[in-house]
Chains A and B, each alone.
Chain A
Amino acid sequence: MKIRKLLLASVAIACAAMPVSALADTSGKKIALSNNYAGNSWRQAMLESWEKVTGEAVKAGVVAAADAFTTAENQATEQAAQIQNMILQGYDAIVINAASPTALNGAIKEACDAGITVVSFDGIATEPCAWRIAVDFKEMGRSQIEFLSGKLADGGNLLEIRGLAGVFVDDEISGGIHAGVEQFPQFKVAGSVHGDWAQDVAQKAVAGILPSLPEIVGVVTQGGDGYGAAQAIAAVGRPMPVIVMGNREDELKWWKEQKDANGYETMSVSIAPGVSTLAFWVAQQILDGKDVKKDLVVPFLRIDQDNLEANLETTPAGGVANVEYSQDDALQVIEAAN
């Protein structure tokens, strides 16, 4: 009896805290997270944010369940099978970080046909029946060049570190970077390597191309590769260029060390792993009957010279600078799209 009262009370509080969705009719709904990969710090932070925010939401009775599932092999076929399992298990909504923008479309269509709400984020899916929460990756690339043009008025040679070849995000960011170079023609991309968004791969690739490069004034990156680039450049004793960072804790820590030692200036930009929680709230709102546009845009998280310390403090060791989204944030994003 007592537990029942407590539950009722917490539901009441949850309702009071959410003025827009006055009727918490999602309290019986089950939401699943289908995640294709967990083997790096960004994905770990993403899963932790999901656990934290949805855990509270489940406790507050906003939804009945919010379970996270990760495939072992980062394969689209495996994730498609996982989605089919979720359909059979009777989830009301599936939030997806997709292994491929197209290969999961069949499974997602099946889910839609079964009356399930599908929201894709970060790794988005092109299936029209699904919602997409995308980052403006092109702008993320372009803004790096814009930042460098303010820092280095004379321009010069840039080294571009790309992500995983063949992945949609890599093409988008790189496209933005090259658009930026066209806009600010004082810069030239002198070399380009694939760092696979991993420090050690980036370090290896940069060390390999560095001996044959002229002097580099800036390094444009995609996140997860800045520290590796710094290690490779420091190893050969070249003057340190402005390396745009990607919000990882080791990158921010290195930046802070350099800033304290010699006033090193740069910026850091990436997508916050907490975007999974935004996707969760969007799915919840759709289940609640809210009219939501199919394409939503989430702002990226940028760190500058003056707010470096504040961000470094809140970033967990070994993690990524993060923002967790609330239901109000989700409503704002939804409103902005309308």
Chain B
Amino acid sequence: MNALVRLFSRPWIWSWGAAFVIWFATIMVTGGASTLGLTQAALTFAAFSIIVGLGQMFVITLGPGNIDLSVPATMTLAGTVALKFMNVENGMILPGLAVAVLIGVAVGIGNYALIKALRIPPIIATLSMSFIVQSAAIWTNRGLRIKPPSFLADFTTSATLGVPNLALVALALSLLSWLVLEKTVYGRWISAIGQSMPAARMAGIPVDGVRFITYVFCAVLAALAGYLLACFSGGAALNMGSEYLLMSIAVVVIGGTAVAGGDSNVPGIWGASLFMFLVVSMLNTYGLGAGIRLIMTGLIIISVILLAGGRKPGAR
């Protein structure tokens, strides 16, 4: 009983519960025949939201005002440049990955340079950065769709023991993030800064260094997601990152991470990402019009956040 109460006090349980209910409602339409197909599709597409969501979660945990709006542009630039660089050759996969990561590092450094050196609020700094990055993506390839190397295309679209490879990549990154957040000093520092920056500064935490690393980490994860997405969908497109701007923020919030910062939640990102994919699939499957679909999506998200956010005052 006590264990059950503890379970329900976890902020991530609600996104998982919602994802499960919707998954069940969707497979019931076909009497269970679509179970495997839907589960695999959900895991595959949720993987992208999970990867960008993890990075965004680190940034949001830094406290009020911290957000990275350059995620979609970074995904697009990393995807287009990496695919162009690899030029369909299997031997270039690792150098291509390195290029994508370097783009992420560069964008992250640029973001924090704007925030720190020019004292621009993160929301404006990352937004302006995203214009620069998106223009760079347009300039580098003008919408040219180069196919990914065959090995990478196979890897991203196939499954190991029934689990999509992309979901395994997302799982590995999630475990890494969880370890960093929960078991390292750096993770504790992020939470401390998010709870009170002045207090963190007085406690001797290298606030600027931690924030800098966090913005770079977020951009690198976005670049990685762009690299994988471009390989998965058979080539990069100029608008391929656009839906991950709101998605990356939504999965963090629905997953139970405190919007005000200082408290992060890795399992919740999984529940929320699966939920976000499944809710669209369910409403599509039931054949509802776009208007109703958007209203329903909004209502469902609000109810999940209300349930997940129902923490007792002072519970922290």
Contact = CB atoms under 8 A, between A and B. Distances in A.
Given A192-B284, A208-B280, A209-B281, A39 B290 contact: no
Given A198-B240, A235-B157, A250 B234 contact: yes
Contacts of A40: 143, 237-239
Nearest to A201: B243
Contacts of A196: 243
A199 B240 CA distance: 8
A64 interface: no
A233 B134 CA distance: 30
Given A44-B142, A318-B142, A236 B238 contact: no
A193 B42 CA distance: 16
B284 A209 contact: yes
Contact of B238 (A41, A204, A207): A41
B124 interface: no
Interface string B276-313: 01101100110100110110000000000000000000
Contact of A165 (B42, B138, B294): B294
Interface residues of A, number: 39
Interface residues of B, number: 44
A209 B37 CA distance: 10
A38 B138 contact: yes
Nearest to A192: B287
A162 B284 CA distance: 12
A250 B235 contact: yes
Contacts of B44: 207
A246 interface: no
B233 A200 contact: yes
B37 A210 contact: yes
B145 A72 contact: no
B242 to A, nearest CB: 7
Contacts of B229: 200
A236 B41 CA distance: 9
A212 B26 contact: yes
B238 A191 contact: no
A218 interface: no
26 contacts: A39-B134, A41-B142, A44-B138, A48-B142, A165-B293, A192-B284, A192-B287, A196-B243, A198-B239, A199-B233, A199-B235, A199-B240, A205-B280, A207-B41, A208-B41, A208-B45, A208-B277, A210-B37, A211-B41, A212-B34, A212-B281, A228-B233, A231-B233, A235-B157, A250-B145, A318-B142
Given A199-B235, A227-B234, 4 more contacts: A39-B239, A200-B233, A210-B37, A211-B34
Interface of A: 38-41, 44-45, 48, 72, 162, 165-166, 191-194, 196, 198-201, 203-205, 207-212, 227-228, 231, 235-236, 249-250, 317-319
Q: Which 8 A-B pairs have the closest CB atoms?
A: A211-B37, A318-B144, A211-B34, A208-B281, A41-B143, A165-B290, A207-B41, A211-B38
